[in-house]
Every structure is written in structure tokens, then in C-alpha cells.
Structure 1
Amino acid sequence: MKVVAMAGGLGSQMFKYAFYLNIKNNNHDECYIDTAPYDKIAMWNGYELKHIFGIEAPDFRSFYSAKQIQQLIDFPGSYRLFAMNLMHEKAPSEPLIYYDHGQRGKYSDYYSVLGKLRRKAREVKKNCWDGRIHKEDCHIERYPKDYLKESGNIYYDEFNHTSDEYFRGMKERLIQEFDFPEFMDKNNKTISQKMLQEESVAIHVRRGDHMYDNGDLFGSGYFNKSVRYVKSNINNPIFYVFSDEIHWCKDNLGELGLNEQDEIYFVDWNTQLESYRDMQLMTYCKHNIIAISSFSWWGYYLSKHKKDKIVCAPKGYWFEVGSHF
């Protein structure tokens, strides 16, 4: 049995689902997603793959009783442990392991002092060491080469990517899976067609809850360098700015490498449950300047433009993307 925890916002869910599909396609074991984390933990708009894309996947949450669901709500941070306990009950003789940010652990060690120390060490490594590796532009191997053939029961939690490495070769399938609903409103209909006919450039500015990593992009001049690169390589670029703090962007054009002489559109009408429309619009843009955000990565990855495309990404993130600054 293989279970992939679903967590985070839309972009993270799409990464995890793509990883789940790769596991499922290369494994004879039962494979599930696990949406239990959304029962209590308030993450953006909750689990979105079903209502946006109509995705139906076997959900490990369906095995929980009403009492267990209530316990999950009362102790929201324990969803991984709840899931592993149930996996162990269903197959007590099978080895059970888990991956936490790509780090392997054994269920049998979970309650031990040594197990707790290992998890603490992984947390320190994630917060300190991994960050330095990213900034040095080095690739991090999260799983062993034969991870698709690993036997036993496995719970995958908080899987974060820096490329399509763990679902490479599945792009056409993912384009089908992540098929956005048609635009129904005038704003999105009009501007999406405009984007297709010009040198449109999507700029994603992630602030708000992700300033702990995206904050460095402003001090390093990432957006200035990216916009300068775009302007030096294409004629008459039209910029479309997407952000969770769109008013900040309007007031700080210089921080983004833009000025009042540029043709700029601030996309500010897709909100709440319609926020995913921003990602959809990004796929219509010919060029992409992406943030440290899986949301904008998918806007690039699912792009309708394949040729003569400029993609800019922060140095140390999103490997195998065109230009890093």
C-alpha cells in the first residue's frame, strides 16, 4: 500500500498528485491520496483538485471512522501518525516506512527516543542545510533511484519538488488531468485571447505567507534582472502581474523592474475559490517570470506556448527551467 498525503495550496496539491500518479503507474500495490490533513488545518482554499479539475482518486481518508475523523480534527498535526497507525492495523506483518520531506523513517522507530531525535534532526536540516544547498544551486536527491520499486507500505508526506523529476515523462497525461474549466466571465475570456496574440509575460509575485523565502528575491534584484533579460530579448513585451499583494505591486513598480512606460496589466479580479484562474491565465502567456512558488511553476509547465519561450526562475530553485537570476 502506498499513500501520498495531500497538503498545501493548489500548486502543492498538483505536485503531490503528479507524484501519486507516477507511483500508481509504476507499482502494483494499492495507491491512495490522503486528504485528511484538510479536515482541520486551514490551508488556502482547502483541497481543490476535485472541484477544479474533477479529479477522483482513491482517498485513504475514506477508511477512517467518524470517531477517528473527530480525533484528527482535535489533533490536526497528527494526521501522519493516524494514517500510519491505520496502515499498520490493515497490514501488521508488512514493513511500514514513511518519507518526511524526502527523508526516510521507519514506523517501528516512530515512538522511540531515537526516532524523535531523527525527526528533530531532519527539521533542523530542512530549515538550515537545505536552504544553503538551494542557494548554491545544487540539486537535492530526495529519493533513492529505485524508489518506484520499493516494497512494503509507505506513507509519503510533505513532498516538495524543484522540478518535474519525479513525474518526468508524464507531461501529456498531466495536461489532460489538469484541464481547467472554460472561462465564463468577460474579463478572463478577453484577456486570455489577448495574451495568445502578443509577447505576453506573466510575472508572479508571491508575498504574504511566503515572504520567508520569496523575500530574498527583492533584495537580490531577481525581478529587475528577469525583466531586463526579457526586454533585451523580445520586442514590445506586455507584462501581466499576478500576486497575493497586488496593491503592493502597483505601488512598487521599480522593485519589479517595471516603469510607467511599460504596458502592464494587474490581474486582480480572480479571488477566493476563483483564485485558480490566475494560474490558468499564466498558461496563456508566452513567457513566464516565476517566483518561489509551485503555483507559478505550474503556470509555466502547463503553458500553451512551446517554442521561443523565455522562462526566468530564482537561482537555486526550479531546476531545468531556462534562465536563473
Structure 2
Amino acid sequence: MRSYPLMLESEDSCLEAVAIMTVKDEFHRSKEKPDTIIVQLMGGLGNQLFQYAVGRRIAKMNNFSLKLDLSWFRYHPRWFKYHPYRPYSLNHFATLKDIASPAEIAKLRGLTWVHLKEKLFHKLYANGLHGTRTMIRERTLDFDPEVLQISTGAYLSGYWQSEKYFKDIEETIRKDFTVITPPDPENIKIANDIRGAEAVCIHVRRGDYVSDSKANQLIGLCSLDYYYRSIGYIMSRVEKPHFYIFSDDPDWSQQHITIDAPTTYIHNNPSDKNYEDLRLMTYCKHFIIANSSFSWWGAWLSSNQQKIVVAPAQWFNRVHYNDDDRLPKEWVRL
């Protein structure tokens, strides 16, 4: 990735002059390409997939270029004090990988995102580099159809967690979200086992839902009752199921979830290889998902046309949040 002098946080006048000249040059050259959608990527893999998908849809329908803003992964160390580290993970997929420069981000979002010291920021602003502010923030957890009416270059910031944002380019999204990093021998063996079974994926999300009090209050954990009711629902409809349990807390899952059917606990992939777990999930035929964007994608990307997907009836702990648009209508809520 290209290095930009403006990222230096020095107050030295020479460095400031270099920064202003560099950004000014990049900024004005970026004006030559106004038809660009920049999408902010943030959070874990599931979030990144949703964010990419909405940007991909808008860019494709307008014949625009799509660029990714990865600033969040560099400039939010405080977030990682309370949450597991979430790396940029789309490099393992067949996605478009054009990374937005700081000047391109500034043009659409404004220079506040460049993380400059106040003195240098004001000098840049005085030089006319304050951007056009064509920034679209997610306004609601519901699907917002107005977002899909964007017909000019824009910067998108949000989570966009509904298939309605990209359902009309489903084939493109499925192709882009093919994992291209070759699997290791152990994952190849597990994949072959899953393909040869009436495989049911169970995803148990704990992690920061347990350790972070705010996440626990807002989102909350799926109860054991939910999992056992979902298992019963699957077993009454699927002949000879084999359950594959994926979790960020495999020890807890093994201690608390026992099933009177063949069960395999998947715990060979570290967190920085979550794309391997996602790939394995997609090979399953049926799904019991958590209130997690990660398992949402595992179920959605499965190619089984007869799949049963069971999801929690209430996605958020706070009942006043509307999540009607979050799940495809054919999925079962329990």
C-alpha cells in the first residue's frame, strides 16, 4: 500500500508543507475520478462482508469503481482493548481489492478521517482540501431503500446487515465471497467429511458478547434453550443429521451442548483463520445460527437449495430494535 506523508503526526513546518502539497496533489487528481464508491470496512469478518456487499451493489449498478477504506484497522487500537482483534480479512476472498487512498477518502468523507493533528488539519482545510462530504451514514438498523438510489460517488459508513441491499446481485456476491486462500490438509479432510454427511452447522457466539458488558446488554447471548429447541427442530426434519459445532469458545460448547446424534466440534482454526471456519460452514446442508453476522454469512453462502436455517427470534437484547429485515423470509425464527 502506498505511504502518504500526511499520516505523520509531526508539527514540524517542513513536514507540514510536504503533507499539504502531497494531499493537495492527490486530492485534485482524485477529482478526475468522481464515479467511485468508497466503503468503510470495520469490525469482524461478517461485518466486512456486509459492508463490501452494499458497496459492490451500488458500484455495479452505476458502473462505478469500488474502493475499500481500511483506516479503521489502523486507527482504532482502543476498540481492540475491549474486543478481540479483528483483522482485515477480505484478502482471503475473490473480492475486488482496490484500496482507497487518504486523498480519495478525504474527497468523499472530509479530512477529519485522516487523523491529523489539529494545527495541520486547519492548514489543509485552508488550502481548500475539505472534501465534498458525499458521505452516507447508516441511519437505521432497518433496510433503507434510499441507499440503493445513490447515483453519484459516495462514502458509505455503516453495517448494512440485510440481504435486501444486494439480493439483486446475489450471483456476483456469491462469486466474490469465494475463499481463494488454499485450505491446509486438516481443513481439506474436515471439508470432505462435511460434504459426505447430512451436515448441520451450529454456531455458538460468545467471545466479546460475554467479556464486553455493552455488547452483552445490547446484543446478548443465545440461550441453551434456544440451541436445544433448534436441535430438536432440525432432528424432527432431517434424517441422520451430523452436527458440526463452530464456536469462539469451543470448551464451553463441548461442556454445555450434548446431542444424541453424531457431533463434531470444530476447533482447529485460530481466530486469524476465521475464513477457514466460514468456508467449512458453507459446505453444511442446514444451519442453527447465533445472533452473529459471521454465522449469518455461513448460512447464506451455502448452496443447498433445500437448506433449513434456524435463527434466534430476537436478534438483539433490546426488544425495541427492529430486526425484521435482517433475516431472509424463508429462515425459521425460534
TM-score by length of 2: 0.70
Give 1:149's aligned residue.
149
Give 1:292's aligned residue.
291
Give 1:210's aligned residue.
209
| 2:54 corresponds to 1:19 | yes
Matches within 5 A, 1:65-144: 72=115, 89=129, 92=132, 96-102=133-139, 140-144=142-146
Matches within 5 A, 1:167-246: 167-181=166-180, 183-211=182-210, 212=216, 215-218=220-223, 221-246=225-250
In the alignment, the residues of structure 1 paired with residue 163 and residue 56 of structure 2 have an alpha-carbon distance, to the nearest angstrom, of 13
Give 2:98's aligned residue.
57
In the alignment, the residues of structure 1 paired with residue 63 and residue 191 of structure 2 have an alpha-carbon distance, to the nearest angstrom, of 41
In the alignment, the residues of structure 2 paired with residue 268 and residue 215 of structure 1 have an alpha-carbon distance, to the nearest angstrom, of 23
Give the alignment partner of residue 74 of structure 2, picking from 35, 39, 48: 39
In the alignment, the residues of structure 2 paired with residue 173 and residue 153 of structure 1 have an alpha-carbon distance, to the nearest angstrom, of 21
Give 1:116's aligned residue.
none
In the alignment, the residues of structure 2 paired with residue 73 and residue 192 of structure 1 have an alpha-carbon distance, to the nearest angstrom, of 47
In the alignment, the residues of structure 2 paired with residue 154 and residue 182 of structure 1 have an alpha-carbon distance, to the nearest angstrom, of 31
Q: CA RMSD in A?
A: 3.2
Give the partner amino acid of 2:43. G
In the alignment, the residues of structure 1 paired with residue 307 and residue 157 of structure 2 have an alpha-carbon distance, to the nearest angstrom, of 34
Structure 1 residue 98 displacement after superposition: 3.4
The 1:310–1:31 alpha-carbon spacing in structure 2 relative to 1, beyond 3 Å, is: closer
Aligned with 2:222: secondary structure? helix
Give 1:121's aligned residue.
none
Structure 1 residue 310 displacement after superposition: 1.0
Structure 1 residue 235 displacement after superposition: 1.7
In the alignment, the residues of structure 2 paired with residue 73 and residue 199 of structure 1 have an alpha-carbon distance, to the nearest angstrom, of 54
In the alignment, the residues of structure 1 paired with residue 149 and residue 95 of structure 2 have an alpha-carbon distance, to the nearest angstrom, of 29
Contact 1:53–1:177 (Cα < 8 Å) also in 2:
yes
Give 2:327's aligned residue.
319
Contact 1:206–1:214 (Cα < 8 Å) also in 2:
no
Structure 1 residue 71 displacement after superposition: 5.9
The 1:314–1:249 alpha-carbon spacing in structure 2 relative to 1, beyond 3 Å, is: same
Aligned with 2:171: secondary structure? helix
Matches within 5 A, 1:263-302: 263-302=262-301
Give the partner amino acid of 2:56. L
Contact 2:289–2:311 (Cα < 8 Å) also in 1:
yes
Give the partner amino acid of 2:333. H
Matched residues, number: 267
Contact 2:94–2:176 (Cα < 8 Å) also in 1:
yes
The 1:45–1:74 alpha-carbon spacing in structure 2 relative to 1, beyond 3 Å, is: farther
In the alignment, the residues of structure 1 paired with residue 47 and residue 310 of structure 2 have an alpha-carbon distance, to the nearest angstrom, of 20
Aligned with 2:220: secondary structure? helix
Contact 1:38–1:46 (Cα < 8 Å) also in 2:
yes
The structure with the largest alpha-carbon Rg is 2
Give the partner amino acid of 1:102. R
